Structure 1
Amino acid sequence: MFFFFDPTFIILIPGLLLALWAQIRVQTAYARYSQVRSSLGLTGYELAKRLLENAGIYNVKIEVVSGFLSDHYDPVKKVLRLSPQNFKGTSVASLGVVAHEVGHAMQDAEKYPLLALRNMMVPAVAMGSNLSWFIFLFGLIFYTPFLIRLGIILFSLVVLFTLITLPVEFNASRRAVKLLETSMLMPEYELKGVKEVLSAAALTYVASSLTAFLQLLRMIALAGLFGDRR
């Protein structure tokens, strides 16, 4: 019956509400500060190039990637991928996002331990994310305790990954603010906007981590409710 009515779904509500609030904050903050042109007079691409060169990082390419706020750093291919609006953008919001991604490139160059650990976990987490619920539900349906436990263990890797991601993202944001403040001499009123945008973005990672943890609790609850029924 839990396929049609699952009372444990209520466990996820706090995470879903936080995720919704985080998305609203990101969109609001980015929209606001994307209208504020930075006094630095640089595009996102120009800022990324300058910051990377100042850090002595010359093996990272800068590319455009489609999508809204799809910016990310690829540590495997050594590529800084920027969304179109941030690649060409000159706003406070765009430069803040770009500096954040440069922060990840600096972490990689310095072999920041938590980033290295997160990168090592990617293959296992990808498998756990895709298979954990399938294995878990299969175990519940056919009452196979081993599969139930295996599903929970695999999803636990996903939770651990989201927890490790938090300090990695927070560190990249701190680096971004410091780079813009000390290397680029960005004015304080612009830095305030950068901090607001990056703080909103950080909240999305907190929401993701909370939601994953609550999903794990839900799996454990389901195992207790249905796992002992033959």
Structure 2
Amino acid sequence: MYYGGMMGYYMDPTWIFVIIGALLSMAASARVTSTFNKYSKVRSMSGMTGAEAAKRLLNSQGIYDVQVRPVSGRLSDHYDPRTKTVNLSDSVYDSTSVAAIGVAAHECGHAMQDNTGYVPLKLRGAIVPAANIGSQAALPIILLGFFISGAGSPLVNIGLILFSLAVLFQLVTLPVEFNASRRAVVLLGQVGILGDEELSHTRKVLGAAALTYVAALAATVLQLLRLVILFGGRRDND
């Protein structure tokens, strides 16, 4: 049942779930990097930088209380609802490429979600604290419960529930990210920052970025499945 005792937990076949999850994440990361690098060489016809495009998009929606700031790192772009800031990385803030404008517009999409009270964004924000605690505390609690009472103990089940919060967070993240990208592409066309061909390039960049969230969800689900197989069974009374 337990793959030959404790040694089995280090050499059990469920490691394939971890390997698959890691491969999916690496493939998605490589895809977004290569796609961004490709279209970061394509200068937009408008000549606007990512920061300029972000400010124009926000203003077009009547959003004036969100600041656009530079942030260090590569592809570290994010919207912070706590400080009401669109934070753009070095490769986006001052770049005039269609890739940079697309990423900047995506982060503005999150600002628009926040401005309109988009429910999945609010739900994700509410889940964050519990998901962070769950992802960090789940494995220690599972191991403690296993060593004390064996598989299927109350502590093990609590640990699995806590880890499920991380899965829930990744699941809720998908509609938030896809919606932000959709808003970005539509608005870039409506405001006239990018032309039709440029928008097709931007869709490819944002589509590649979306794959990273899909891969993250898949990897987390696979990890949860592995934990359930290893530790979630009924107690061994032998």
Query: What corresponds to 2:215 in structure 1?
Result: 207
The one-letter amino acid paired with 2:64 is Y
Share of identical aligned residues, percent? 50
Task: Give CA-to-partner distance per residue, 1:72-106, whole Å, 9 cap, x none.
Answer: 00111211111011011110110000000000000
1:229–1:180 CA distance, 2 compared to 1 (3 A): farther
Query: What corresponds to 1:218 in structure 2?
Result: 226
Aligned equivalent of 1:13, options 19, 22, 31: 19
1:76–1:58 CA distance, 2 compared to 1 (3 A): same
Provide structure 2 residue ranges, at least 5 long, that are not aligned to the other structure: 1-6
Shift of 1:187: 1.3
CA distance in 1, matches of 2:147, 2:74: 40
Q: Following superposition of structure 1 onto structure 2, how do residues 40-59 of structure 1 map, counting pairs within 5 Å?
A: 40-59=46-65
Aligned equivalent of 2:165, options 157, 164, 167: 157
Shift of 1:228: 2.9
Aligned equivalent of 1:118, options 107, 124, 143: 124
Query: What corresponds to 1:167 in structure 2?
Result: 175
Shift of 1:125: 0.7
CA distance in 2, matches of 1:214, 1:123: 22
Query: What corresponds to 1:131 in structure 2?
Result: 137
Aligned equivalent of 2:109, options 95, 98, 103: 103
CA distance in 2, matches of 1:227, 1:211: 27
Q: TM-score, normalised by structure 1?
A: 0.95
The one-letter amino acid paired with 2:185 is V
Q: State whether structure 2 residue 189 is matched by structure 1 residue 191.
A: no
CA distance in 2, matches of 1:43, 1:226: 58
SS of alignment partner, residue 10 of structure 2: coil
In our comparison, the structure showing a higher alpha carbon Rg is 2
The one-letter amino acid paired with 2:164 is S
CA distance in 2, matches of 1:229, 1:170: 48
RMSD value over aligned CA atoms? 1.6
CA distance in 1, matches of 2:44, 2:192: 11
Query: What corresponds to 1:90 in structure 2?
Result: 96
Q: TM-score, normalised by structure 2?
A: 0.92
Q: State whether structure 2 residue 45 is matched by structure 1 residue 39.
A: yes
SS of alignment partner, residue 117 of structure 2: coil
Provide structure 1 residue ranges, at least 5 long, that are not aligned to the other structure: none
1:194–1:83 CA distance, 2 compared to 1 (3 A): same
Shift of 1:11: 2.1
SS of alignment partner, residue 209 of structure 1: helix
Q: State whether structure 2 residue 73 is matched by structure 1 residue 62.
A: no
CA distance in 1, matches of 2:15, 2:234: 14
